[in-house]
């Protein structure tokens, strides 16, 4: 079967030109300035011991998820950035959904086993006053009690975990662990996240950074009480003065004025700080060429490229081919970039990948291994 | 506040001021309007569906009351604005509209069990809807889609397949249910057949595992093994709409794969018609990859010609094709439908089986793999391409 992979000699792991946000997180094409800015924010954060707090926003396909995943990769692979990243997509929510939905998703991603390990080691280190330390941090005997119960045998440990996730308990379960039926207030939910941040620092010596993707779903929250709940939680998590946990959020808003109501709140914006609202913008034609060059060079297997050029080099119509342009000739790649940017002179990384698939699928149909400017000009009417 | 005066009391009514003081909770919900949209100052029939869902939740839990005409912070707004949206702007007309909504979404047999009364407060009137706990499960139905709601604190919450099954089993213990083992066996057997054309063993296993998670647990269940994956939806009724409905709602169609042995014009009143599909493909400059069998029937050929004429479709003919797989990449998200349904009008009437996967959480990898499967099917060596999408700068 003639696939994109076999026809154009893509590396074994690539079926097409899609960039997977998790497995390809190490890659960051074209956006040198953005990359520098993010690295700078991370360096500043870790140097001062304050985990990063920021909002990434921009149009569909502009690369927000990939950017977050890349930040996660950079943090995990940079010795100076000692942090544990917990990445989660905001689950589907409705108009009355409170911050508890995100809170429980974040703790689910953190995981019961890791949380329990932290609590066990924290208790072992501060056996005499572990309870009091958590109580002092949260101003809540119930939250400190729930962390104590994380060490219980049998059901008690799981029940306490559920309570910390903000799940209402059945009356019998609540009695068993000696806790109120539920943990509802936004400031208490954030306190729980902060305790885990403290435990991460104490036990693993790493900061804890929560990343919440697909936050555009927050647009659906319209109930005033739910909006207030989110606003208060975000206000606390965004506060640059609070050093317990980092918080990075992303959503498909093009303009800050279009953001979900809690993110438009003046206090939330002030606490994140304007420089930490980072807009990801579309690529122009020159950036598109840089992106295409990087993508093609990374995706195509060197030996396969050489073999294909030896057999089919004549299809280049005498035009130069670079390792960063194959299977396009250099002039053909410029036309491909212009075609990709045909709407308003700009495009997004997602559109580049789809257009590349479409153009090269057509080249296979037409029996071409090398795309020359004559061929692509006829195809796109350039 | 004036003393509330019930106009049509069918039983002893809790005074309005006490209900307002009690606030929304497990057995009480406030709604500002029935169908008057306060944001746009126009009639919005979708608002009434929310009231039907709340009623279903009360019926399925412990019963409860809905007060219509109560705004934010428990302000009494009354239902006068709703009356202006009715052809018969009276309390009778209001009750009729409300009962029609219940009959439409909950069933004609449920409506009569729901009480509707009115409470006068000075010049204003508040509607009071009372829902008893029902003796059997009540489903909310809309456009052929059935959802099961329960009351959870002050919210009405839809349950997924597994949770619905468990809830029904626990809430109506004496009700006979279809044996979950029988359901599991039937679905697993049907899936085996329809997954067979997939090329990837790993993908087949992943989907089978996911579907097992979604199905009700065997009885006796030792322990619930957690919620079903939120990225997976299984349907047997109007299965093609599982794909077409989210497609219709999605903005910015980027790429579609439609893999189906038979393709006809479609006219789903609940999602898309062929005309709408073709127009959206052109408007959004979608690239569609369509794989089907060589047409033997005029209707099949005509449907392909219509898709080909959009200039947005690559159509490949593959003899002996058996796979039915549909994938979409849109600005609103990516999703894929795999199952038994052809892309035909008839499939909307047939009993089929379909598995909709959304690119969310672990579903993201499944959608990617299904997309890769679809791309490979487009490139099968025995194919013959009869239409190509055009590439034009403008």
Is the domain of A130 the same as that of A178?
A: yes
Nearest CA in chain B to A217: B332
Q: Which tens digit of pLDDT belongs to each residue from B294-311? A: 999 999 999 999 999 999
Pair A369, A308: CB distance under 8 Å: yes
Residues of A in contact with B170 (CB under 8 A): none
- Binned at pLDDT 50, 70 and 90, residue B180 comes out as low
Pair A56, A276: CB distance under 8 Å: no
Q: Which DSSP string do the residues of B201-240 spell out, in sequence order?
A: HHHHHHHHHHHHHHSPPPSSPSS---PPPTTEEEEEESHH
Domain assignment present for residue B365? The answer is yes
Most A-contacting residue of B379, B380, B388, B389 (CB-CB within 10 A), to test interface: B379
Domain boundary among B126, B159, B192: B159
pLDDT at position A128 is: 82
Domain assignment present for residue A24? The answer is no
Q: Which tens digit of pLDDT belongs to each residue from B218-233? A: 433 333 334 557 788 8
Residue range(s) defining the domain that contains residue B38: 5-159
A–B interface: beta-carbon pairs under 8 A:
71
**Residue B25 near chain A (CB below 8 Å):** no
CB contact under 8 A, B230 and A91: yes
Pair B386, A11: CB distance under 8 Å: no
Percentage, residues of chain B above pLDDT 70? 83
Instruction: Out of B252, B314, B360, name the one closest to residue A89 (CB).
Output: B360
pLDDT at position A97 is: 93
CB contact under 8 A, A351 and B254: yes
Domain assignment present for residue B49? The answer is yes
**Residue A15 near chain B (CB below 8 Å):** yes
Domain assignment present for residue A20? The answer is no
Rounded Cα distance between A169 and A163, Å, is 7
Domain boundary among B128, B159, B190: B159
Nearest CA in chain A to B380: A1
- Binned at pLDDT 50, 70 and 90, residue B394 comes out as low
Domain boundary among A229, A261, A279: A279
Nearest CA in chain B to A95: B155
Q: Is the pLDDT of residue B13 over 70?
A: no
- Binned at pLDDT 50, 70 and 90, residue B11 comes out as very low
Mean pLDDT, rounded, for B248-262: 94
Domain boundary among B105, B133, B159: B159
What distance lies between CA B188 and its chain's CA centroid?
23
pLDDT at position A299 is: 96
Is the domain of B12 the same as that of B135?
A: yes
pLDDT at position A55 is: 96
Is the domain of A164 the same as that of A196?
A: yes
Kindly report the average pLDDT of chain B as a whole number. Answer: 83
Q: Is the pLDDT of residue B184 over 90?
A: no
CB contact under 8 A, A358 and B287: yes
Which has the minimum average pLDDT: A184-193, B191-200, B321-330? B191-200
Percentage, residues of chain B above pLDDT 90? 39
Rounded Cα distance between B49 and B58, Å, is 14
Q: Is the pLDDT of residue B10 over 70?
A: no
Which has the minimum average pLDDT: A198-212, B5-19, B82-96? B5-19
Asked if the peptide bond before residue B220 counts as cis, ω within 30 degrees of 0, the response is yes
**Residue A338 near chain B (CB below 8 Å):** yes
Report the interhelical angle of A349-365 vs A285-299 (nearest 10°): 60
Is the domain of B116 the same as that of B246?
A: no
Structure tokens at B13: 């009514």
pTM of the complete model beyond 0.80: no
Q: Is the pLDDT of residue B53 over 80?
A: yes
Is the domain of B272 the same as that of B367?
A: yes
- What does DSSP assign to residue A92? P
Which residue in A217, A29, A3, A176 sits closest to B374, CA to CA?
Answer: A3
- Binned at pLDDT 50, 70 and 90, residue B8 comes out as very low
Mark which residues 223-282 of B lie under 8 Å from A by CB. 230, 252, 254-255
Residue range(s) defining the domain that contains residue A134: 32-279
pLDDT at position B219 is: 34
Residues of A in contact with B230 (CB under 8 A): 91-92
Is the domain of A322 the same as that of A230?
A: no
Instruction: Out of B329, B379, B385, name the one closest to residue A3 (CB).
Output: B379
**Residue B380 near chain A (CB below 8 Å):** yes
Is the domain of A146 the same as that of A36?
A: yes
pLDDT at position B188 is: 63
CB contact under 8 A, B393 and A91: no
Domain boundary among A258, A279, A300: A279
Which has the minimum average pLDDT: B77-86, B143-152, B172-181? B172-181
Is the domain of A51 the same as that of A157?
A: yes
Domain boundary among A225, A248, A279: A279
Domain assignment present for residue B223? The answer is no
**Residue B378 near chain A (CB below 8 Å):** yes
Query: For position B332, which CATH number holds?
Result: 3.30.870.10
Asked if the peptide bond before residue A37 counts as cis, ω within 30 degrees of 0, the response is no
Pair B335, B246: CB distance under 8 Å: yes
For B70: left if phi > 0, alpha if psi spans -120 to 50, otherwise beta; the answer is beta
pLDDT at position B217 is: 45
Is the domain of A93 the same as that of A211?
A: yes
pLDDT at position B221 is: 31
Ranges of H-type helices in chain B: 16-22, 46-60, 80-83, 91-106, 161-171, 180-195, 201-214, 239-249, 274-283, 298-308, 345-349, 363-378
The residues of chain A scoring below 50 in pLDDT are none
Is the domain of A192 the same as that of A303?
A: no
User: How many domains does one find in chain A?
Assistant: 2
Is the domain of A188 the same as that of A319?
A: no
- Binned at pLDDT 50, 70 and 90, residue B142 comes out as confident
Q: Which tens digit of pLDDT belongs to each residue from B201-212? A: 667 777 766 666
Instruction: Out of A351, A354, A381, name the one closest to residue B393 (CB).
Output: A381
pLDDT at position B17 is: 85
Domain assignment present for residue A22? The answer is no
CB contact under 8 A, A359 and B372: no
Which has the minimum average pLDDT: A235-239, A367-371, B5-9, B130-134? B5-9
**Residue A359 near chain B (CB below 8 Å):** yes
Is the domain of A321 the same as that of A238?
A: no
pLDDT at position B170 is: 74
Is the domain of A255 the same as that of A315?
A: no
Rounded Cα distance between A169 and A273, Å, is 37
Domain assignment present for residue B151? The answer is yes
User: How many domains does one find in chain B?
Assistant: 2
Query: For position A198, which CATH number holds?
Result: 3.40.50.300
CA dihedral over B171, B174, B180, B186, signed as positive or negative:
negative
Is the domain of A84 the same as that of A230?
A: yes
pLDDT at position B220 is: 33
Residues of B in contact with A361 (CB under 8 A): 289, 314, 378-379
Query: For position B103, which CATH number holds?
Result: 3.30.950.30
Instruction: Out of B230, B314, B376, name the one closest to residue A3 (CB).
Output: B376
Nearest CA in chain B to A379: B391
pLDDT at position A340 is: 94
Most A-contacting residue of B38, B154, B369, B375 (CB-CB within 10 A), to test interface: B375
**How far is the alpha carbon of B117 from chain A, nearest alpha carbon, in Å?**
26
Is the domain of A307 the same as that of A202?
A: no
pLDDT at position B18 is: 85
Residues of B in contact with A364 (CB under 8 A): 379
**How far is the alpha carbon of B62 from chain A, nearest alpha carbon, in Å?**
16
- Binned at pLDDT 50, 70 and 90, residue B167 comes out as confident
């Amino acid at each position: 079967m003639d696939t994109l992979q076999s026809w154009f000699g893509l590396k074994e792991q690539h079926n097409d030109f899609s960039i997977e946000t998790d497995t390809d997180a190490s890659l960051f094409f074209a956006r040198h300035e953005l990359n520098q800015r993010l690295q700078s924010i991370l360096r500043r954060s870790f140097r001062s011991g304050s985990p990063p707090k920021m909002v990434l926003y921009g149009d569909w396909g502009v690369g927000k998820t990939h950017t977050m995943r890349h930040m996660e990769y950079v943090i995990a692979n940079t010795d100076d950035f000692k942090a544990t990243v917990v990445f989660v997509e905001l689950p589907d929510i409705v108009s009355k959904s409170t911050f508890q939905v995100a809170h429980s998703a974040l703790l689910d991603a953190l995981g019961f086993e890791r949380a329990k390990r932290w609590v066990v080691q924290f208790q072992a280190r501060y056996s005499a006053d572990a309870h009091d330390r958590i109580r002092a941090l949260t101003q809540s005997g119930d939250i400190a009690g729930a962390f104590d119960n994380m060490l219980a045998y049998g059901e008690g440990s799981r029940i306490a975990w559920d309570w910390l996730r903000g799940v209402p308990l059945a009356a019998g379960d609540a009695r068993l662990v000696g806790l109120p039926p539920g943990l509802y207030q936004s400031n208490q939910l954030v306190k729980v996240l902060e305790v885990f941040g403290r435990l991460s620092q104490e036990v693993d010596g790493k900061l804890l950074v929560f990343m919440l993707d697909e936050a555009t779903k927050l647009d659906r929250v319209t109930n005033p009480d739910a909006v207030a709940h989110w606003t208060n939680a975000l206000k606390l998590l965004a506060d640059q003065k609070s050093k317990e946990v980092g918080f990075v959020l992303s959503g498909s808003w093009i303009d800050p004025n279009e953001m979900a109501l809690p993110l438009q709140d003046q206090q939330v914006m002030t606490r994140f700080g304007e420089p930490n609202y980072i807009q990801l913008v579309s690529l122009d034609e020159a950036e598109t060429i840089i992106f295409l060059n990087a993508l093609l060079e990374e995706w195509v297997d060197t030996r396969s490229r050489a073999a294909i050029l030896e057999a089919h080099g004549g299809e280049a119509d005498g035009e130069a081919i670079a390792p960063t342009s194959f299977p396009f000739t250099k002039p053909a790649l410029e036309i491909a970039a212009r075609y990709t940017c045909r709407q308003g002179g700009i495009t997004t990384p997602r559109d580049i990948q789809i257009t590349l698939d479409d153009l090269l699928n057509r080249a296979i149909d037409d029996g071409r291994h090398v795309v020359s400017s004559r061929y692509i000009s006829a195809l796109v009417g350039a | 506040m004036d003393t509330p005066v019930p106009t049509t009391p069918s039983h002893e009514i809790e005074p309005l001021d006490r209900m307002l003081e009690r606030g929304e909770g497990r057995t009480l919900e406030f709604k500002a309007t029935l169908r008057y949209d306060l944001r746009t100052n126009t009639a919005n029939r979708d608002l009434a569906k929310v009231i039907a869902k709340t009623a279903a939740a009360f019926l399925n839990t412990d019963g409860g009351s809905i007060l219509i005409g109560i705004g934010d912070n428990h302000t009494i707004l009354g239902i006068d604005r709703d009356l202006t949206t009715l052809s018969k702007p009276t309390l009778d007309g209001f009750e009729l509209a409300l009962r029609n909504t219940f009959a439409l979404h909950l069933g004609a047999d449920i409506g009569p069990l729901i009480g509707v009364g009115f409470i006068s407060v000075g010049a204003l009137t508040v509607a009071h809807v009372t829902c008893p706990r029902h003796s059997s499960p009540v489903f909310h139905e809309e456009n052929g889609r059935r959802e099961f709601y329960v009351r959870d604190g002050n919210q009405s919450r839809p349950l997924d397949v597994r949770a619905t099954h468990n809830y029904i089993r626990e809430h109506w213990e004496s009700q006979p249910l279809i044996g979950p083992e029988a359901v599991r066996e039937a679905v697993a057997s049907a899936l085996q057949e329809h997954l067979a054309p997939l090329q990837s063993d790993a993908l087949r296993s992943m989907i089978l595992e996911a579907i097992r998670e979604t199905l009700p647990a065997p009885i006796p269940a030792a322990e619930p093994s957690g919620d079903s994956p939120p990225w997976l939806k299984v349907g047997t009724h109007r299965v093609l709409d599982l794909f077409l409905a989210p497609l219709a709602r999605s903005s910015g169609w980027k790429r579609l794969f439609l893999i189906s042995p038979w393709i006809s014009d479609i006219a789903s009143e609940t999602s898309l018609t062929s005309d709408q599909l073709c127009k959206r493909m052109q408007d959004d400059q979608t690239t569609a990859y369509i794989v089907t069998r060589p047409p033997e029937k005029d209707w099949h050929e005509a449907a392909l010609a219509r898709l080909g004429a959009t200039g947005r479709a690559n159509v490949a003919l593959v003899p002996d094709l058996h796979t039915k797989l549909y994938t979409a990449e849109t600005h609103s998200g990516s999703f894929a439908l795999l199952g038994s349904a052809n892309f035909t009008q008839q499939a909307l009437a047939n009993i089929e089986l379909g598995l909709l996967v959304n690119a969310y959480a672990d579903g993201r990898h499944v959608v990617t793999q299904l997309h890769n499967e679809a791309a490979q099917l487009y490139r099968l060596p025995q194919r013959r391409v009869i239409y190509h999408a055009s590439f034009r700068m403008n």
